[in-house]
Homo-oligomer: A and B are copies of this chain.
Amino acid sequence: MAVHAQPKLDARKLRGDFPILEQQIHGKPLAYLDSAVSAQKPRQVLDALRDFYETSYGNVHRGVYTLSERATEGYEGARQKIATFVNAPSPREIVFTRNATESINLVAYAWGLPTLGAGDLVVVTELEHHSNFVPWQYIAKRTGAGFRTIRLTDAGELDLDCLEEIATEGQVKVVAANYVSNALGTVNPVERLSAWAHEQGAIMVVDAAQAAPHRRVDVQALGCDFLAFSAHKMCGPTSVGALWGRHELLAKMEPFNLGGHMIRSVGLEDTTWGDVPAKFEAGTQPIAEAVGFGAAVDYLEEVGLEAIEQHEHELVAYALERMAEVPGITQYGPLPENRAGIVSFNLDGVHPHDVSQILDYEGVAIRAGHHCCQPLMKRLGVAATNRASFYLYTIPEEIDRLVDGLHKARKVFG
C-alpha cells in the first residue's frame, strides 16, 4: 500500500471541526473512543445538510422545477463523489442504501435468493460482523445452499489454508468477507479472497464498513464484485450507505425493495424495472443524507485517506504498547502492522460493562459487548470484550486517559 508523501494530519486542529468534542462528560472532557461503531460529524457535514434543507430541498428526478433540479444535482453529485471515492468505473454502479447492512441484504436477497440452491456454498468468515454473516446464513437456509466459514488463526487472522477443503464441499457461489474487522482491527487479504472466489466461479462481496472510513478503498484494485459501506462511520449522517456493484451484475439482478421510482412501467399484468441504479432505489431516496455523505467524502479527501491510515496506525501502536502495562489485561487481535485503529481487550476480574462504565465517569467512551461478532466471541472463548477505536480526531492523550481509567477500574475491583 503506497503511502504518499502526504503531510501528517493534525488531529488537534481537526478536533475543532467537531462541535460534539467540545463538551464535558461527568465533568471531564469527552474522549470519544468508539468511532468504529459510529464516527462524529464535522461542522462541514452539518452545514452541508442544513444548507441543503434551507435552500435546495425537493424531491429528486421527478419535478420540472428549480428546487427539484437543485436537489437532483445534489443527490447525483453525491453519487459521483462516492463513485470517485472508491474508484468505481461509473457512478451508476453506486446504489444508495440505508447502511452497509442493507447494502449486503440487497445482494443477499436480489442476487442470492434467485441464484443459490442445493449443492451451492456460501462462504463467510468467522471474523464477520453479523451484518455480513446473518443475511448469508438466512439466504443459504432459504435456498438450501450450504454455509461455511473461513476460520481464524490464533493471531486473529483468516486461515486461508482451509479454502482448499471448503472448495471440495460444494460449488462455491459467493464469498463474503470484511475488509477490516470491527472487533479486532484485522486487515483481511481481500484481493486474495477475490481471486480465489473468481477461480471458484463465485462472486466476491466485501464489507468495507470499517475500511472505507479509514483507508483508501479501490474496488478495481480489490477485484471484488460488490462492496458495502455506511456514511455514519465516515463522518457522514445516519441512514445512508452505499453499495457498489459491477454493472453487469446489477443489471441482471432482480430488484429488492419495490415501489416508486424503481419501475419503468407498471401495468395490472406486468411491471418492468428501471435502469441501474434506480431499480434498487425504491421510494423517496435518502436525499439530504446522500448530500451529507458527499460532504463527508469531501472532508475525508481533504484530510487525506493515507494520512488518516497513518495517524491511526501510530495511535494503535501506541495504544497496544501503553495498554500492555496494565496488569491483568488480555489483548486480542493481530500485530499493529496488519491492523486498523482498533484495540480489543479484557481486564481480569472486571466485566466489560463495568470497565466501560468506570471509564464513562472519566469522560472516556469505549464500547463493551460482543460487537455484533458472536461467532468471533465464541472463537475467542469470551462473552464480550472492551473495545477502543480511533479516528482522525483522536489524540494520544485520550489513550493515556484510557490507560489511567483501566488502572482505576482495577483499583475499584482490586
Contact = CB atoms under 8 A, between A and B. Distances in A.
Interface of A: 19-20, 23, 25-26, 30, 32, 34, 37-38, 40-41, 46, 49-50, 53-59, 62-68, 98-102, 104-105, 108-109, 129-135, 137-138, 147, 149, 230, 232, 237-240, 255, 257-263, 265-268, 271, 282-289, 353, 356-357, 359-360, 365-369, 372, 374-375, 378
Contacts of A34: 58-59, 63, 65, 68
7 contacts: A19-B53, A19-B54, A40-B57, A58-B365, A64-B357, A238-B284, A260-B372
A149 B287 CA distance: 32
Nearest to A114: B142
Given A367-B63, A374-B265, A286 B58 contact: no
A278 B21 CA distance: 29
Contacts of A366: 65
Contacts of A260: 101, 129-131, 372
Given A99-B283, A286-B98, A375-B266, A67 B133 contact: no
Chain A, interface SS category: mixed
Given A64-B367, A135-B258, 13 more contacts: A19-B55, A20-B54, A34-B59, A38-B59, A40-B57, A46-B54, A62-B369, A63-B365, A105-B282, A237-B288, A238-B289, A266-B374, A267-B375
Contacts of A100: 283
Contacts of A237: 53, 288-289
Contacts of A105: 257-259, 282
